[in-house]
Structure 1
Amino acid sequence: MHSWSFHQSQECIKQKATRYGIPVVMADAKYTSQ
């Protein structure tokens, strides 16, 4: 999995979450590390 691009990882997580009925909220990366 570490060789996947960020986009591939993100899509996999979204697909699995949707399959199990878990909502996915995308946060703007701006200021998230502060």
Structure 2
Amino acid sequence: LAIIYLILGTMALICCLLTSIIHLHNYERELSTSHL
């Protein structure tokens, strides 16, 4: 059970990191387009 919880935790962390990176890229694009 501990291994399953570890795998689920790492998957959740990876998903959170991916979503945060995508949101950051979209935010930077919006900033660059608004400044133009």
The higher relative CO (CA closer than 8 Å, separation ≥ 6) is in: 1
Scaled by the length of structure 1, what TM-score is found?
Answer: 0.49
Structure with higher Rg: it is 2
Scaled by the length of structure 2, what TM-score is found?
Answer: 0.46
Choose between structure 1 and 2: higher helix proportion.
2
